[in-house]
Structure 1
Amino acid sequence: MDWVARTKLLIFPLCLAPLGFLIQAVLSNTLGPDPANTLTRDLGEWALIFLCAGLAITPLRTITGVNKLIRFRRMIGLFALLYALLHVIAYLAFMLGWQWLTLLEDLYKRPYIIVGAMAVVILVALGITSTKPMMRRLGKNWVKLHKLVYLAASLAVLHFLWLVKSDYTEPVVYGLTILSLLILRVPGFKKALRF
């Protein structure tokens, strides 16, 4: 077993740890006065954290020269998708009680939900096409499609920004992080990263 496989065995449970902590908080009733809102928010934030982590892999690979780091990107991206889907499920189950008419009203009244839904749809498309057979089938179009991850991340930040009511610090930090990771992919910056 090479170091990548061994490292994946360590990273996989670490990526599940936030979900484990949230489940434990639900079972012990320690999510605060509004547990549905806290759970939904925390799942969404973990999706954003994993999105940023996945986007950081390419610049990190450029800086370190360790090309095998790219083999972690799909796993991290799929965890971003997992937390995003759980965020949506928590919203539908605990905030709306599976009331589809209320969802339609929310889509009309709250544009941040439409923006968030667009981000999740993109992540689902990227997740479905992340397998090797799909890479072969899509060919060069696979790379173009997977560049939409930056759009998904930007939409997720906008969703977060519109959602908060007073303190914009966290969504701004995520936004600046994603902008920085996007800038680091510009050819001139990529050359500067190679020492």
Structure 2
Amino acid sequence: MIAIDEPSLANVLGFMALVSYSITLIPTILRIVFPKTKDTGIPKLLLKHRRIIGIISFLLALVHGLMMIQKRNFDFFDLKTFEIYIQGITTLIIFTLLAITSNNWSVKKLKKNWKKLHKLTYLAMFVLTWHIWDKMSGHWTYLTPISIGIMMGIIALFALRLRIEHQGKQQISEPKLTPAKLPTKITK
């Protein structure tokens, strides 16, 4: 029988960061994968509050990280520490970049680069899944399968979104032949 550990406060905060982060990914996915959800107003509501939810996610992740540093008594001068916690460090760096640029001033200053920078959120999605799987291996809490389930669901919906977008681009680039555009035989 597998023993399930009780989650620490740090794990609960990490879970809350994951849930709020997932909420920031949902509006675009809903709009593309489930277009009828536009009628409900949910994607629009989530888009309206996406930045603040993202900042909340960052703050929860930051406190989660700080609590884990305190709990594990990290040696920041040991390269092994960075090797072991590379996923968490990478995710936190991405979340930090996204949080500090989640404002109108950054959008204006960075212009097209702002969108490119904020696409890092999709990299974070995969690194975060790896982080959860790696760090919780061997000592799962009841939050672990829920976390992995949320991230795998988001990744599956993201992949579906990419497929739908790709198909839409293909349809746009392939000219449709209408009877007026069909080649005709030239007879002499």
Residue type at the aligned position of 1:43: L
Cα gap change, 1:72/1:60 in structure 2, threshold over 3 Å: closer, same or farther? farther
The aligned counterpart of 1:153 is: 125
The aligned counterpart of 2:64 is: 87
**Displacement after TM superposition at 1:181 (Å):** 3.3
CA–CA separation in structure 2 for the residues paired with 1:92 and 1:73: 28
CA–CA separation in structure 1 for the residues paired with 2:102 and 2:166: 24
The secondary structure found in structure 1 opposite 2:102 is coil
Instruction: Please give the root-mean-square deviation of Cα atoms over the aligned residues, in Å.
Output: 2.8
Which structure is higher in helix share?
1
The secondary structure found in structure 2 opposite 1:185 is helix
**Displacement after TM superposition at 1:108 (Å):** 0.8
CA–CA separation in structure 2 for the residues paired with 1:41 and 1:48: 10
How many equivalent residue pairs? 153
**Displacement after TM superposition at 1:114 (Å):** 1.2
Gaps of 5+ in 1: 1-33
After superposition, what is the alpha-carbon deviation per residue over 1:48-81, rounded to whole angstroms, capped at 9, x for unaligned? 1111111012223443224633112112111110
**Displacement after TM superposition at 1:148 (Å):** 0.5
CA–CA separation in structure 2 for the residues paired with 1:127 and 1:175: 20
CA–CA separation in structure 1 for the residues paired with 2:63 and 2:112: 31
CA–CA separation in structure 2 for the residues paired with 1:108 and 1:137: 38
After superposition, what is the alpha-carbon deviation per residue over 1:147-188, rounded to whole angstroms, capped at 9, x for unaligned? 101111211111110012245734531331231232243262
The secondary structure found in structure 2 opposite 1:130 is coil
After superposition, what is the alpha-carbon deviation per residue over 1:20-67, rounded to whole angstroms, capped at 9, x for unaligned? xxxxxxxxxxxxxx99x7012111111111111110122234432246
The answer on 1:46 being equivalent to 2:23 is no
| Divergent runs of 4+, >4 A | 189-192
The aligned counterpart of 2:108 is: 136
The secondary structure found in structure 2 opposite 1:186 is helix
- From 18, 29, 34, the counterpart of 1:59: 29
After superposition, what is the alpha-carbon deviation per residue over 1:106-149, rounded to whole angstroms, capped at 9, x for unaligned? x5167451111110001100011110010011111111110101
Q: TM-score, normalised by structure 1?
A: 0.67
CA–CA separation in structure 2 for the residues paired with 1:160 and 1:109: 17
Gaps of 5+ in 2: 169-188
Q: TM-score, normalised by structure 2?
A: 0.69
Whether contact under 8 Å (2:27, 2:44) holds in the other structure is no
Greater gyration radius: 2
The answer on 1:117 being equivalent to 2:89 is yes
The aligned counterpart of 1:3 is: none
Residue type at the aligned position of 1:47: A
Residue type at the aligned position of 1:148: L
